[in-house]
Structure 1
Amino acid sequence: MAARNTGMEFDSSLVENVHINLAAIKRRAETLGTRRCVKKQWQAAWLLRAVTCIDLTTLAGDDTESNVSRLCFKAKQPIRHDLIQALKLGDLEINCGAVCVYPNRVADCAKYLKRAGASHIPIASVATGFPTGQTPLKTRLEEIRLAVSEGASEIDIVINRTLALGGDWKGVYEEVKLMKEACGEAHLKTILAVGELGTLANVRKASMACMMAGADFIKTSTGKEGVNANFVVALVMVRAIRDYFQLTGFKVGFKPAGGIRSAKDACTWLSLMKEELGEEWMKNDLFRLGASSLLGDIERQIFHYVTGRYAAAHELPMA
């Protein structure tokens, strides 16, 4: 992981008089998916890099120990072993960036990652009344502490949208700061829920408030809103990251989540990070993809590169 963001004192000037050039942002976003994508061996390399940045996720109401165990073993061996051997990359240990689950499944993750010989893979847990955040602050903080005590090394929290929509950015800052303290040594990823913030100006303000409070990552969405990860909001967020880095020297990570399903999308997200923030932000200590089905399409594309044909459904292990 990159050095933790220790935050700074709340500076109201960073959340006041924010103006977004919507037309310019949209023009820039539209160019990202229209360029010629990387091809052949370079595409395979980019896709494998994307695999190492995936937070392999299950956040369903019917999660059980069984499907969590399968998730952990898949995170340890995300691409079929024979495909990795065919690429002559058997000496590299290609794992997912983390597994992401609800707090009451964290202990299961720790057990099965250890059984898979993959205890080094981080366990990320959503917390603080995910996805709505509509629980008392005391309860939200206790949920963080519980997840950390069970073995979570990363905590994905949701910000208080009531405070954000009311323009109380100092309140957002103070709550996130308390959540950072509750995390202890665990890294804090703050979910802005961009689809519920109303404006891009609010997305910018929420990004800055969270980073000032010590967030190690800022994340677009819970995946449960009507609007999730898209390139317009991403540009606002990554440029806030760049401005915060120039101001403080702290590198904050970025995690788009929700609706990212295709290998082509993964390459486009990587290109955005490379062009806007630089190559350091193309690695999993500063970039994650929140996804549950993306890995399946990436493995399918790797299979095609190796064999020259697309795999039948039964030929690839389920993600």
Structure 2
Amino acid sequence: MDMTETSHTAQLPQVSEPRNPGMALDLDWVRAAQANRSAIERRAATLPGRRSVKKDYQAAWLLKAISCIDLTTLSGDDTAARVRRLCAKARQPVRPDLLQALGIEGLRVGAVCVYHDMIAPAVAALEGSGIPVAAVSTGFPAGLSPFPLRVAEIGESVKAGAGEIDIVISRRHVLEGNWQALYDEMRSFRAACGTTHIKAILATGELGTLRNVARASLVCMMGGADFIKTSTGKEAVNATLPVSLVMIRAIRDYHERSGYRIGYKPAGGISKAKDALTYLALIKEELGDRWLQPDLFRFGASSLLGDIERQLEHHVTGAYSVAYRHAIG
């Protein structure tokens, strides 16, 4: 694996891809979107057993997964010191001795994701690394603050130095089938971001049906989203393979019709290396190799990195180590 190439693509999506400008809301397309739950769940259930990689190939895929992680801390007790430690881990996600044994240089994560108040220490800690700071916004995680404040929050985070903004949609628009309202909201958020990259969080665990997930995905992409993301990580149900299949097929359909590639970010509940491998296999099968780059695919995770590092140490040494040898700050 050429990790030099990977480190170079760990940048904002609009640098390497024409940015999605969105399009007029096509309600016929949205209402035609369906989801066959039994077929989707059957396809998702077979994937882990059919796609398994071992030894050097597994190590290479795990290194790829690291380059696609949005290393995240979104806790009420976040401090500047915690964020600085997380950023140090983002710069050096795997112990140097393991990378040396694997013959890898320049490995970095995709981004560091924080609340607005932690943008300044994150930007300072990541200066010169090429790793962007992603800020959650628009009344995260519920998205129920007054609309003008949600729009203003985006502007403040952009002004503070965030290179990516993760917004949350109003779930009620989806549950009520008010696609025009969801589209207008997405356009407003996109306009507030300006040239800054925007990820739309659908909170799929609260949308009721897979059909709603498919339709919300299309509307957000029509509204100009650069990425669509499953979850805030605060819902009872976060990223799942069935939901991922629905969302990435919506991404594929949008690309076929518009020519624009939209990124995908599963978030919440992905904490094991084997789960990361399954998601990567799903992306490869459904969207192809181009989406296996950090400008078009991210994991929203924190503990995932620690488990991947343990697996890499096992690959190098033949023995599993204790978790504290791979602390993530």
| Letter matched to residue 186 of structure 1 | T
Match of 2:208 among 198, 207, 225: 198
| Letter matched to residue 173 of structure 2 | L
Other-structure match for 2:111:
98
Mapped partners of 1:111, 1:19: distance in 2 = 45
Mapped partners of 2:305, 2:35: distance in 1 = 34
Per the TM alignment, residue 37 of structure 1 is displaced from its structure 2 partner at its CA by 1.4
Other-structure match for 2:188:
178
Mapped partners of 2:196, 2:248: distance in 1 = 22
Question: Is residue 83 of structure 2 the alignment partner of residue 76 of structure 1?
Answer: no
Q: Which runs of 5+ in 2 are unaligned?
A: 1-12
Written as runs of structure 1 = structure 2, the 5 A alignment for 1:7-26 is 7-26=22-41
Q: Which runs of 5+ in 1 are unaligned?
A: none
Match of 2:280 among 270, 275, 284: 270
Match of 2:43 among 14, 17, 28: 28
Alignment root-mean-square deviation, CA: 1.0
Other-structure match for 2:67:
52
Mapped partners of 2:163, 2:193: distance in 1 = 9
8 Å contact from structure 1 (residues 172, 209) kept in 2: yes
Mapped partners of 1:139, 1:187: distance in 2 = 19
Per the TM alignment, residue 211 of structure 1 is displaced from its structure 2 partner at its CA by 0.1
Find the residue that maps to 2:126 and give its secondary structure: helix
User: What do the CA deviations read for 1:29-58 (whole angstroms, capped 9, x no partner)?
Assistant: 001112251100110000000000000000
Other-structure match for 2:302:
292
Flag the 1:208–1:314 CA change in 2: closer, same or farther, 3 A. closer
Match of 2:121 among 108, 116, 119: 108
Match of 1:39 among 37, 43, 54: 54
Per the TM alignment, residue 317 of structure 1 is displaced from its structure 2 partner at its CA by 3.1
User: What do the CA deviations read for 1:55-89 (whole angstroms, capped 9, x no partner)?
Assistant: 00000000000100001000000000111011112
User: What do the CA deviations read for 1:163-186 (whole angstroms, capped 9, x no partner)?
Assistant: 111111111001111100111111
Mapped partners of 1:255, 1:203: distance in 2 = 14
Mapped partners of 1:77, 1:59: distance in 2 = 20
Mapped partners of 1:36, 1:187: distance in 2 = 32
| Letter matched to residue 142 of structure 2 | T
Find the residue that maps to 1:33 and give its secondary structure: helix
Mapped partners of 1:312, 1:7: distance in 2 = 47
Mapped partners of 2:317, 2:291: distance in 1 = 31
Which runs of 4 or more aligned residues in structure 1 lie more than 3 Å from their structure 2 counterparts after TM superposition?
A: none
Written as runs of structure 1 = structure 2, the 5 A alignment for 1:128-277 is 128-277=138-287
Query: TM-score, with normalisation over the residues of structure 1?
Result: 0.97
8 Å contact from structure 2 (residues 272, 304) kept in 1: yes
Other-structure match for 1:306:
316
| Letter matched to residue 117 of structure 2 | N
* Identity, % of aligned positions: 56
Question: Is residue 76 of structure 2 the alignment partner of residue 65 of structure 1?
Answer: no
Per the TM alignment, residue 15 of structure 1 is displaced from its structure 2 partner at its CA by 1.5
Mapped partners of 2:189, 2:323: distance in 1 = 42
8 Å contact from structure 1 (residues 153, 185) kept in 2: no
Mapped partners of 2:75, 2:225: distance in 1 = 26
8 Å contact from structure 2 (residues 267, 301) kept in 1: yes
| Letter matched to residue 11 of structure 1 | D
8 Å contact from structure 1 (residues 122, 152) kept in 2: yes
Query: TM-score, with normalisation over the residues of structure 2?
Result: 0.94
Mapped partners of 1:185, 1:59: distance in 2 = 24
Find the residue that maps to 1:8 and give its secondary structure: coil
